[in-house]
């Protein structure tokens, strides 16, 4: 009996399994730098912890920055690239990110220190993914291991930000569609929205809910009236020269926890995209589940961050390892 055909069949099945699973995990691996730069994750953690101790808002900034990186051309550090004369509006200077995105200087500092230890070894995209995880931990979230091995992209186009990053006026169904385009489920979308348990929003991101909701209602009827009154005290009616910020979750503004979901159940979601998760039938139960079980939500949040961190990553010899996070080599 000739065993070769069966062997060939087994080998090709194995190759198929391997290639399918590498697609799913995008070939990132935990401890990718364990031999090439063993101190990388520690250096990032120390830099991030110190920055958050000085200013807790940095944690929110870095978690959001990782999200905005991953949703535009994948988690490739493209959000970190500065505009240049040849590319006057990079992602970070699109209106969605500028002036609200913060924490760039923390990534720069971490990169400088990592470069001193291991020149041109650790990508900016990975440093940002580590920094987001360290931020989660520092403000009370569940720790998780970050698969790494991302490479840095060389393209950053401002117009691609509003085409990919969801706008705060979207409905639950639109948010589900937006996240599905990145391979994330409705439950993952609702789980990750819990990041709005920390940080701030500019008034301009929700002031339509206070002053110009629609023809019949000036104020969004899905927002608690006393909460709306409090917000109006800080947020001037548009058009206004100033654009102050308010806490996304005033109950625990610098603690990553599930109080955000309780807020939604009390009609105290700040953005339309927050409150819609509770008013919409398709996601209401997910909000309740997260509100009732904080420990489970925290676990799911960590897992969803890993999944978000693997969106359309560059690996192997694609892209590059930048020398400076703001500029391509
Ligand atoms: C579900 C769709 C989402 C929408 C529509 C959305 C929209 C927004 C908006 C409009 C702001 C306020 C920006 C400003 O005006 O200053 C904000 C802040 C924030 N977002 Fe989201 N976001 C979403 C999902 C996420 C996800 C998935 C994460 C991370 C996992 C995240 C993390 C944050 C954080 C931490 C802040 C506070 C930033 C700071 O204080 O600097 N968001 N988001
Ligand atoms: C205004 O919003 C309310 C509540 O969502 C809705 O019932 C009503 O039909 C809307 N009116 C107009 C004119 O769009």
CATH classification of the domain holding 54: 1.10.520.10
- Based on the fold, state whether residues 186 and 79 are members of the same structural domain: no
Q: Is residue 327 lining ligand 2, measured as CB closer than 6 Å?
A: no
Residue 16 confidence (pLDDT): 43
> Are 136 and 302 spatial neighbours (Cβ–Cβ below 8 Å)?
yes
Task: Answer yes or no: do 155 and 41 share one domain.
Answer: yes
Predicted pLDDT at 9: 52
CATH number at residue 183: 1.10.420.10
* Binding site residue list for substrate: 166
Closest approach atom of ligand 1 to CA 168: 5
What does the pLDDT read at residue 117?
98
**Domain match, 149 and 204 both:** no
Please, are residues 272 and 168 in contact by the beta-carbon 8 Å criterion? yes
Is 294 among the domain residues?
A: yes
Residue 275 in contact with ligand 2 by CB distance below 6 A: no
Residue 289: closest CA among 272, 301, 273: 301
The structure's pTM equals: 0.93
Give yes or no: residues 224 and 255 share one domain.
Answer: yes
Contact 170, 178 (CB under 8 A): yes
Question: Ligand 2: does its nearest atom lie under 6 Å from the Cβ of 215?
Answer: yes
Compute, in angstroms, the gap from residue 232 CA to the centroid of ligand 2. Answer: 21
Q: DSSP secondary-structure letter at 170?
A: -
> End of a domain among 142, 164, 186?
164
For residues 155 and 217, membership in a common domain is answered with: no
Domain boundary pick from 118, 146, 164: 164
The total domain count for the chain is 2
Binding site for Ca(2+): which residues?
Answer: 69, 72, 74, 76, 78, 91, 249, 252, 257
Q: Which helix (H) or strand (E) holds 48?
A: helix 40-54
Q: Is 68 noted as a catalytic residue in this protein?
A: yes
Claim to verify: residue 149 and residue 197 sit in the same structural domain: no
Evaluate whether residue 218 is within a structural domain.
Answer: yes
Q: Which residues of the chain have pLDDT under 70?
A: 1-26
User: 223-242: buried (b, 16+ CB within 10 Å) or exposed (e) per residue?
Assistant: beeebbeebeeebbeeeeee
Ligand 2 centroid to residue 171 C-alpha, Å: 14
In whole angstroms, how far apart are CA 260 and each of 19, 182, 266?
39, 24, 10
Residues with CB under 6 A from ligand 1: 57, 60-61, 63-64, 67, 100, 102, 166-168, 170, 175, 189, 192-193, 195-196, 198-202, 205, 248, 271, 273
pLDDT number for residue 228: 98
Q: Domain span at residue 82? A: 29-164
Q: Please name the residue whose Cα sits nearest to atom 14 of ligand 2.
A: 214
Whole-number pLDDT of residue 26 = 54
């Amino acid at each position: 009996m000739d065993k070769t055909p069966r062997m060939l069949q087994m080998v090709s099945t194995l190759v198929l399994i391997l290639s399918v699973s590498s697609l799913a995990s995008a070939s990132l691996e935990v401890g990718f730098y364990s031999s090439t730069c063993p101190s990388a994750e520690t250096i990032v953690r120390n830099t991030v912890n110190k920055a958050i101790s000085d200013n807790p808002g940095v944690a929110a900034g870095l978690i959001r920055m990782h999200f905005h990186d991953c949703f535009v051309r994948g988690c490739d550090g493209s959000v970190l690239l500065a505009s240049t004369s040849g590319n006057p509006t990079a992602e970070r200077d699109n209106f969605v990110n500028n002036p609200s995105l913060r924490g760039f200087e923390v990534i720069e500092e971490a990169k400088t220190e990592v470069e001193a230890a291991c020149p041109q070894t650790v990508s900016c995209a990975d440093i940002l993914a580590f920094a987001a995880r360290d931020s989660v931990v520092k403000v009370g979230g569940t720790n998780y291991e970050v698969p790494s091995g991302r490479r840095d992209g060389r393209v950053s186009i401002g117009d691609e930000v509003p085409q990919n990053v969801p706008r705060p006026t979207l409905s639950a169904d639109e948010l589900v569609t937006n996240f599905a385009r990145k391979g994330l489920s409705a439950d993952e979308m609702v789980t990750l929205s819990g990041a709005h348990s920390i940080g701030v929003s500019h008034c301009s991101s929700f002031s339509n809910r206070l002053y110009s909701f629609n023809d019949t209602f000036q104020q969004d009827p899905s927002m608690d009236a006393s909460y709306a009154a409090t917000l109006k005290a800080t947020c001037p009616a548009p058009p206004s020269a100033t654009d102050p910020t308010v806490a996304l979750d005033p109950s625990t503004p610098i603690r990553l926890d599930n109080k955000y979901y309780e807020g939604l159940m009390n009609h105290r979601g700040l953005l339309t995209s927050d409150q819609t998760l509770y008013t919409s039938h398709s996601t209401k139960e997910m909000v309740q589940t997260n509100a009732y079980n904080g420990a489970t939500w925290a676990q799911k949040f960590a897992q969803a961050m890993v999944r978000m961190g693997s969106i359309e990553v560059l690996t192997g010899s694609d892209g590059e390892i930048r020398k400076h996070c703001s500029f391509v080599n």
